[in-house]
Structure 1
Amino acid sequence: MDSPKNILVCVTQQKTCERLIRKAANLKNELKGELFVIHVAKNAWNFLDNIKEGEALDYLFRISKSVGADLSVLKSDNIVETIVAFAKEKNISHIVMGESPNDHKENNFFSDLKSMLPNIEITVVPQEEI
């Protein structure tokens, strides 16, 4: 029997990330693994002072719980390394993330993750699927 496949969803502090959590929940049902949701905030970001971001994270927390996942909010100035460490610790086999907005194409988030986690399947959900 195959070992369970654990799935990690990378979210930002936006309610639109609900679609990523729901897509990963479907994958979890197929793969029979555990589902983890992570949001990494830079140390300088104080999202608790920002009502909108706090509300969005609370909303994503509730969505995560509804599909049987834990939402972890971590603070780090190196977002990619933090996600890589989390993925290794939780024995992640799949990552679900959203496509970067067009004005962030220089953001090499996907490439960095892929190079640091070559054995993990990464699914990028296009923005059109919102």
Structure 2
Amino acid sequence: MITALAPDTLRRTYGTALRLRNSGNETAYQSFTDHWEVPMTSLAIEGACAFAWRNYLLLHSGVSEDDNRRSALFRYITSLRDTGEYDFDLLQIAAVAYLKKLDELHDDRRARLAADQALAERLESRSAKPGA
């Protein structure tokens, strides 16, 4: 669903803005594509989850493609996006750490905390590097 904010701005219910220009010299397509502000986060989420899940299946041959852990992984990674994390590499790290900890701890909440800690450590080491 999209709601109107101002004459030239639309905001989707999930929070992303879409601004349109209205110029007689431009086509509607150019006007739309030049000024849209919709981050491609769903691709990063799906890619990170797919990467982690495929690797998980390689290590655990008896796990079904429709296992509950897959939907739990998607919920966790989506929750990271909701906090503002869009970096594909970091989402991959968090996804792999989450699945690993979920197997070790057998508890979603504790697995989330452990994956969050691994993600925080990665962010800390990344910020400590010059030029990162």
Bigger strand share:
1
Which of structures 1 and 2 has the bigger CA Rg? 2
Shorter chain as denominator, the TM-score bin is under 0.3
* Superposition TM-score, scaled by structure 1 size: 0.27
* Superposition TM-score, scaled by structure 2 size: 0.27
* Higher-RCO chain (CA-CA 8 Å, sequence separation at least 6): 1
Bigger helix share:
2
